[in-house]
Structure 1
Amino acid sequence: MSTEAKKCVPDAVVDDSLIAAYLEENPDFFDRHPQLLQHLSVRHQSKGAVSLVERQQQVLRQRVQQLEEEITELMVTARRNEELFRYFSELYVKLLQSRSIDEVMDSLQLTFSEQLQMPALTLKFFDSPLDLEAQFTFAADTHKQLLSKRFQEDSIYLGRLTRDEQRLLFQDENIGSVVLLLLGEQGELGMLAIGNHDAGHFEPAMDTLLVKQLQVLLSLILPPLLNHHETA
């Protein structure tokens, strides 16, 4: 081929991505060319040039450490979930054994305030007997704006409240985030509010399995207790 012809042939372009792809597709490349390992080195930020084998060992050690940390985190989460399940299971039994609204409230306070360190808990009814304690009732129709704003699509709300909404539910308690449960078949019975000082504790993306079960149970056991209170 003449010199002029050679100049017309474009040089093959080999970039890092092509080399990386080739090595991934041919993991036995260095087994077939072991002599190359003697001439390869990898730059390390703190140690300078190290051998490829040593660098591979470092990467593997880092990966093992990362996996150990992830396993530890999963174990901690599993223990916490087991603890939560146990607390809620004990609460369900106590609620089924309750004979009054006060006993229901005592059981809820024990679980959330003492065992789960939730500093604020409120149970309020929308249409309650006239002689029911004030702590279980809303003043006039003050709750209607809260209902229209926080329960447009679901009967459970997780997140933050305005200062006025906090005062409506928790009086002087400074609450960062809440879970609100509407009670009754259509949410007509009342509301359970659980608050935490941490603004990020209750978030919309959280799993609601346990609180949904609690919502269903309270919706079943509270109407007979309210009727009993009214006729007592």
Structure 2
Amino acid sequence: MTSEVKPLAPPVVDDTLITEYLIENPDFFERHSHLLQQLSLRHQQQGTVSLVERQQQVLRQRIMQLEEEITDLMVTARRNEEIFQAYSDLYVALLACDDLPSVMDALQDTFASRLQMPALTLKFFDSPMELDEQFTFAADTHKMLLSKRFQTTQVYLGRLTAEEKKLLFPNEAINSVALLLLGKKGELGMLAIGNHDAGHFEPAMDTLLIRQLQALLSRILPPLLHHQAQHHDLS
């Protein structure tokens, strides 16, 4: 008695195998060009289109996307160049300053006029001489900021509480700030730069330019304060 021989099951071909084969054989449709005339893809907006037409649509969409990305990159690069130039001009202007008002004028000209950041505050800690009210903190209020914002660094980027914003920017609706401690160990004072945009200053952003500004101010301000103190004593 002979056993019945069962026919072999046909090989299972699924989408994965077809995809892998086409990837491994990119010239498949060149060798079987007649298939392109028989294949079609259903498109929701335009009904049935050929595979070639669909490929062209995808390519056009990809080209448009790349053009938009390139445009965005060019805009960002142009803005970065403008920011770098503004800081470079500010460094030169600060080196020519001979008193605190001229320092403030240079800072405000750069940040308000060129960088669209109208809120700027320069405060000094425990100055041995009398300064205008705009340059001083009331009582020990600056310690509140120091204890919260400068535990591990001398630069803070981000948001402030309503009380802190009122302390630094009483007349502006500020939603994000850059705070720079001044002096070798942050003992001299603080420069606060405010922006109306809540997302403008963020902890993750690059701090190269503002750290350079921090270093320059920490260098030029002590001699100006000393000179102003001497002039005050003589008068």
The interval holding the TM-score normalised by the smaller chain is over 0.9
Secondary structure, in 3 states, of the residue corresponding to 1:143?
A: helix
Q: Which amino acid aligns with 1:45?
A: Q
Name the TM-score, length of structure 1 as normaliser: 0.92
Task: Tell me if structure 1 keeps the 8 A contact 2:165–2:174.
Answer: yes
Residue equivalent to 1:159: 158
The match for 1:226 is 225
Residues 3 and 67 of structure 1, relative CA distance in 2, 3 Å threshold: farther
Structure 1 partner of 2:6:
5
1:100 aligns with 2:99: yes
2:149 matched to which residue of 1?
A: 150
Letter in 2 for 1:5: K
Q: Helix, strand or coil: the match of 1:154?
A: coil
Give the RMSD, CA atoms, in angstroms.
1.7
Q: Equivalent residue for 1:74?
A: 73
Query: CA offset at residue 222 of structure 1?
Result: 0.8
Relative to structure 1, is the Cα distance of residues 3 and 147 closer, same or farther in structure 2, using a 3 angstrom cutoff? farther
Residue type of the partner of 1:182?
A: L
- In the alignment, the residues of structure 2 paired with residue 152 and residue 14 of structure 1 have an alpha-carbon distance, to the nearest angstrom, of 63
What SS does structure 2 have at the residue aligned with 1:5? Answer: coil
Q: Structure 2: give runs of 5+ residues left out of the alignment.
A: none
Distance 2:4 2:94 in 1: 94
Q: 1:11 to 1:187 in 2, by over 3 A?
A: farther
Q: Which residue of 2 aligns with 1:191?
A: 190
Asked if 1:24 is matched to 2:23, the reply is: yes
Aligned to 2:115: 116
1:102: how far off?
1.2
For structure 1, the residue ranges without an aligned partner over 5 or more in a row are none
Structure 1: which amino acid aligns with 2:138? A
Which stretch shifts more, 198-207 or 158-167?
198-207
Contact 1:124–1:137 (8 Å) recurs in 2:
yes
Please, what TM-score do these two structures have when normalized by structure 2? 0.91
What secondary structure does 2:122 align onto? strand
Question: Take 1:129 and 1:43, find their aligned partners in 2: how far apart are those partners?
Answer: 80
Check the 8 A contact 1:180/1:192 in 2, yes or no: yes
